[in-house]
């Protein structure tokens, strides 16, 4: 704060839920050679600042303002020293609490904050940022590689890579594999590695094990210089129950709901933020703005939205709202406010929701009653398609709707088709291990499924290790099974994913009209008997389209008839059963010439061979778009 007036305005905005830069008011502030500490504990009887600089004693009592903020200034050089707050709570008990606003903590299991001043960075990603502001991400490719930063690779001694080390290895890998974005599971400070970061304590701090904030800034910058966008998972609905962190901070419900049944999250052993409390709104929204602006993030994926918008989402007791329904009105309106605030400041930022119900419109304009997100994870598609691929193919014709049902609602929201970390843990098996059949067929299924994912309208996400078909489940405390790539089948699977990603990036018909129903035209969505699905993906021009033929059965289909829209020549662009990908085909299908013969809604048809458990992508080579 540069003046008393600005300070008072910031303090008042905090109390009304309109301070979106709380990190400039609370926490440890450095100015004019002095450090000022401020913490919100409205019902505390007394607060002391304790740290290395005063031998952790009671010599620095803090002063309370009418706002419930306690403050004290320290006129000495204490950079790098550790500190906490000793709080005499509302009932008179005393405890040590961390600083909720700290931007760096000591290594866990300890959680004292470090006096840390993050200097302004001279960013070099101006061209990237400018392109993002000018472009429409709905009309651009989005192929996301989901990463747990602590287990993509680990050192021999078991320690995680820092972001400086990830910059050297992960960024070139993203470029090589043709991903457009990387999405990190939560990077915020957390006390238990087994929570993967979803049980957050420090909402303004990079987890200590991942290096310094400056290292993460440099990592994001390098991603942008290599045309890679960076997303981060973020958890604004619930927080860790640790007594020395946010939980009942001053001895009373401070960040959590007043009613115990609303505050307590039974399913996750957490506490739910009181999303209707103005000060809490300022805290959460400031966390979002801090990450977006300090680290130039391109988007945020908001975790567990259902828990924020339904009063009965958790287990145990619940009570209807004043309208008699199950909607958490505070959470609903907070999320609308959050998206409005972020979009007003940064319209180019991508806001993604992980939300599992269909009862609330998640994406779209707030004015229509939607929550205002840009994208929603398509959990329904993920569940259906995995169930389908796990099934013995002999039964698939009786459950063909599992493969096609998502087409009924694919434009109800703006979707991301996610094959995420949630599907490869807790005994669910890896994606590779889920696939039906022997090892050869499992790889064939995996290539088939990834092709279907790329073909289906919606943006894409794949969890790390799945790109080469890691057989073992993901383990958060170990690196991925990179030794798998010494096996020829795994190496060919990785090569296939790389080729498929490049194809997705290059073919405009796969993303140019992704949010419009004109992007897809079905050839035959009812061939359950053969378990073959065929459809067209279209771009803006008539000649720009791809034909997908996906065979879900272990039976080769010879002389297979495919309806096409125009006369002319067609050629095979990709065959998932080629030997270079791990299949048995040594040469592709021959080019096809359309015959003027009706097939369903089409006036022309071509014939080709569709491999067992294979998928074909066919592209027009020379067609007459005026033909009928």
**Would you name the residues annotated as active-site residues?**
303, 354
- H/E stretch holding 215 reads helix 213-225
Is residue 551 within 8 Å of 531, Cβ to Cβ?
Answer: yes
Contact between 428 and 386 under an 8 Å Cβ cutoff? The reply is no
Whether the Cβ atoms of residue 581 and residue 447 lie closer than 8 Å to each other: yes
- Per DSSP, helices labelled H in 232-328 are 260-263, 278-294, 305-309
Distance CA 287, CA 120 (A): 18
Q: Give yes or no for a contact between 59 and 87, defined as CB atoms under 8 angstroms apart.
A: no
Query: Which run of H or E residues covers position 7?
Result: helix 4-15
Residues 380, 408: Cα–Cα separation, whole Å = 12
3-state secondary structure of 584: coil
The Cα 17–Cα 478 span in angstroms is: 41
The closest alpha carbon to 84, from 42, 52, 59, belongs to 52
d(CA 446, CA 423): 14
**Residues, the chain:** 628
| Cα separation, 462 vs 443, whole angstroms | 16
Within 8 A by CB and 6+ apart from 22, the residues are 14, 101, 282, 283, 286
User: What are the beta bridge partners of residue 351?
Assistant: 300
472: its two tokens: 């073992």
d(CA 418, CA 422): 10
Q: Which residues pair with 113 in a beta bridge?
A: 83, 105
Among the residues of 457-487, which ranges form H helices? none
- Helix locations, 304-455, DSSP H: 305-309, 329-345, 379-390, 401-404, 431-434, 439-455
**Left (φ > 0), alpha (ψ -120 to 50) or beta: where does 446 sit?**
alpha
Q: Which residues contact 340 (CB under 8 A, 6 or more apart)?
A: 366, 372
Rounded to whole angstroms, what are the CA distances from 100 to 36, 40, 105, 138, 153? 15, 9, 10, 36, 30
Residue 421 CA, distance from chain mean position: 10
Residue 49: helix, strand or coil by DSSP? strand
């Amino acid at each position: 704060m540069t003046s008393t007036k600005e300070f008072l305005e910031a303090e008042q905005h905090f109390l009304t839920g309109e301070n979106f830069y709380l990190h400039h008011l609370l926490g440890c502030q450095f100015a004019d050679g002095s450090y000022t500490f401020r913490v919100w504990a409205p019902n505390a009887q007394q607060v002391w600042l304790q740290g290395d600089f005063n031998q952790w004693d009671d010599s620095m009592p803090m002063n309370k303002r009418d706002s419930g903020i306690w403050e004290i200034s320290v006129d000495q050089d204490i950079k790098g020293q550790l500190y906490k707050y000793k709080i005499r709570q509302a009932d008179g008990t005393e405890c040590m609490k961390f600083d909720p606003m700290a931007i760096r903590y000591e290594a866990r299991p300890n959680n004292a904050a470090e006096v840390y001043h993050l200097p302004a960075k001279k960013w070099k990603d101006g061209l990237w940022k400018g392109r993002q502001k000018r472009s429409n991400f709905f009309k651009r490719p989005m192929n996301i590689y989901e990463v747990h930063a602590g287990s993509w690779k680990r050192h021999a001694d078991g320690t995680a890579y820092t972001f400086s080390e990830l910059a050297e290895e992960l960024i070139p890998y993203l470029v090589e594999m043709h991903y457009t974005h990387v999405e990190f599971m939560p990077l915020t400070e957390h006390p238990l590695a087994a929570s993967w970061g979803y049980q957050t304590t420090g909402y303004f701090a990079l987890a200590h094990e991942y290096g310094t904030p400056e290292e993460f800034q440099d990592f994001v910058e390098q991603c942008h210089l290599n045309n890679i966008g960076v997303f981060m998972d973020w958890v604004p609905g619930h927080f860790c129950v640790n007594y020395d962190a946010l939980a009942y901070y001053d001895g009373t419900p401070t960040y959590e709901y007043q009613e115990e049944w609303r505050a307590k999250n039974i399913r996750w052993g957490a506490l739910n933020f009181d999303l209707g409390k103005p000060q809490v709104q300022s805290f959460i929204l400031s966390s979002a703005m801090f990450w977006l602006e300090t680290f130039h993030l391109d988007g945020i994926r908001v975790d567990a939205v259902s828990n924020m918008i339904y009063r009965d989402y958790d287990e145990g007791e619940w009570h209807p709202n004043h309208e008699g329904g199950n909607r958490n009105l505070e959470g609903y309106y907070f999320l609308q406010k959050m998206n409005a605030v972020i979009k007003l400041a940064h319209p180019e930022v991508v806001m993604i929701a992980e939300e599992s119900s269909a009862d609330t419109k998640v994406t779209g304009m707030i004015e229509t009653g939607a929550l205002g997100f840009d994208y929603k994870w398509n959990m329904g598609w993920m569940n259906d398609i995995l169930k389908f691929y796990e099934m013995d193919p002999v039964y698939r014709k009786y459950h063909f709707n599992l493969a096609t049902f998502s087409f009924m609602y694919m434009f109800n929201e703006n979707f991301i088709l996610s094959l995420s970390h949630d599907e490869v843990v807790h005994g669910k098996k890896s994606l590779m291990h889920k696939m039906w059949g022997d090892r050869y067929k499992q790889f064939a299924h995996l290539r088939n499924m990834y092709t279907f994912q790329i073909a289906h309208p919606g943006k894409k996400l794949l969890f790390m290790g799945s790109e080469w078909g890691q057989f073992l489940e993901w383990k958060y405390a170990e690196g991925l099974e990179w030794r798998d790539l010494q096996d020829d089948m795994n190496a060919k699977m990785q090569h296939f994913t790389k080729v498929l990603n490049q194809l997705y990036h290059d073919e405009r018909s796969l993303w140019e009209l992704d949010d419009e129903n004109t992007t897809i035209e079905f050839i035959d969505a009812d061939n359950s008997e053969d378990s073959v699905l065929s459809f067209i993906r279209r771009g803006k021009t008539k000649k720009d389209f791809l034909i997908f033929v996906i065979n879900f059965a272990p039976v080769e289909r010879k002389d297979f008839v495919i309806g096409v829209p125009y006369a002319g020549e067609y050629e095979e662009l990709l065959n998932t059963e080629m030997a270079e990908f791990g299949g048995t085909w040594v040469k592709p299908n021959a080019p096809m010439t359309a015959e003027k013969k009706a097939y369903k809604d089409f006036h022309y048809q071509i014939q080709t061979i569709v491999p067992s458990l294979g998928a074909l992508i066919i592209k027009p080579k020379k067609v007459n778009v005026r033909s009928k």
